[in-house]
A and B are shown apart, each in its own frame.
Chain A
Amino acid sequence: MKIKDVCKILNARVLAGEEMMDFDIECAFGSDMLSDVLTFARGRMALLTGLNSHQVIRTAEISDIPLIIFVRGRTPDKGIIDLAHGKDICLLGTDLIMYEACGKLYNAGLPPVTRL
């Protein structure tokens, strides 16, 4: 699923990585625990999270995660967004809660990371 399709499904704002809209995502994982993210991350994974910290970006960089979706209307501050620049990480923000955002992507055919 292309990131631009993720954007449409979640009615999301692009916070960083505008140039990555045609990038293909192959699975997704939702969590606010970064050690779990480090355990499960594989492939071209989208991370859905309600966490809003520098460590989310660093976790994505360490685990080669190309897409972070901030749920529940959480908008990271400029310092966090800047940290993603130049790292091939796209940041999206949606007002949907975690449950609904995950459900919409699942219904649209994006599989969980455990099926990869």
Chain B
Amino acid sequence: MKSECKLLYEECFPVTAGNLEHAGEASVKIKRILKKLGIDSDFIKRVSIACYEAEMNMVIYSCGGSIKLEVYNDKVIVVAEDCGPGIADVELALRDGYSTASDYVLSQGFGAGRGFSNIKRCSDSFSIISEVGKGTKLTLCFNISGT
């Protein structure tokens, strides 16, 4: 018999572009929510790190967007969606070490081109859809049973 996939919690967090001082606040909120739901701490760390990297990418490179959290009994889904400018060469952007970060972003400790590698390492499945002029949508899945 197949077990039912039950939605336990969902919330959408806005992410503002360019503000490095407040960057990461959505991911910290997501971490606290998962903690309150009593989920295993190693699993929470995987989700939090992936969310944080996605949020930093959005703050640094996009025009802003949102991160949606969906918690089910057997998995967590995170959808990070921005409203542009989109990525012209997704394959290149996903390459470990590739970066277009400014000197300011590098001076703040980000922009080493490791973000997508970290997101892939922490998530169980990862998909990216991007269109120049429209935006980028990143969908991440974390299997609770697989932790």
B-contacting residues of A (Cβ < 8 Å)? 32-39, 49, 51, 53-56, 58-59, 61-64
Residue pair B49, A63 in contact (C-beta under 8 Å): yes
Which 10 residue pairs are nearest across A and B when measured between Cβ atoms?
A35-B114, A34-B109, A58-B24, A62-B48, A62-B52, A51-B109, A35-B112, A33-B112, A38-B49, A54-B21
Q: Which residue of A lies closest to B115 (CB)?
A: A35
* Neighbouring B residues of A63 by C-beta, 8 Å: 45, 48-49
Select which of B27, B41, B48, B108 is within 8 A of A53 by beta carbon. B108
Indicate whether A64 sits within 8 Å of B41 (C-beta atoms), given known contacts A53-B20, A55-B23. Answer: yes
Q: How far is the CA of A32 from the CA of B115 in the complex (A)?
A: 15
A-contacting residues of B (Cβ < 8 Å)? 20-25, 27-28, 31, 41, 45, 48-49, 52-53, 108-110, 112, 114-115, 117-118, 121
Residue pair A33, B28 in contact (C-beta under 8 Å): no
Residue pair B114, A39 in contact (C-beta under 8 Å): yes
* Neighbouring B residues of A37 by C-beta, 8 Å: 109
Measured CB to CB, the closest approach of chain B to A2, in angstroms, equals 22
Residue pair A62, B27 in contact (C-beta under 8 Å): yes
Q: Which residue of B lies closest to A49 (CB)?
A: B109
A35, A49, A59 — which one has the most chain B CB atoms within 10 A of its CB?
A35
* Neighbouring B residues of A58 by C-beta, 8 Å: 23-25, 27-28, 52
Residue pair A35, B28 in contact (C-beta under 8 Å): no
Selected A-B contacts with CB under 8 Å, 21 pairs: A32-B109, A33-B114, A34-B110, A35-B110, A35-B112, A35-B115, A35-B118, A37-B109, A38-B52, A38-B118, A39-B121, A49-B109, A54-B21, A55-B23, A55-B110, A58-B25, A58-B28, A58-B52, A59-B24, A59-B109, A63-B49
A36, A37, A39 — which one has the most chain B CB atoms within 10 A of its CB?
A39
* Neighbouring A residues of B21 by C-beta, 8 Å: 54
Measured CB to CB, the closest approach of chain A to B50, in angstroms, equals 9
Measured CB to CB, the closest approach of chain B to A14, in angstroms, equals 23
Measured CB to CB, the closest approach of chain A to B89, in angstroms, equals 20
Q: Which residue of A lies closest to B117 (CB)?
A: A39
Q: How far is the CA of A5 from the CA of B121 in the complex (A)?
A: 34
Indicate whether A36 sits within 8 Å of B108 (C-beta atoms), given known contacts A55-B20, A58-B23, A62-B52. Answer: no
* Neighbouring B residues of A64 by C-beta, 8 Å: 41, 45
B20, B24, B48 — which one has the most chain A CB atoms within 10 A of its CB?
B24
Q: How far is the CA of A54 from the CA of B109 in the complex (A)?
A: 11
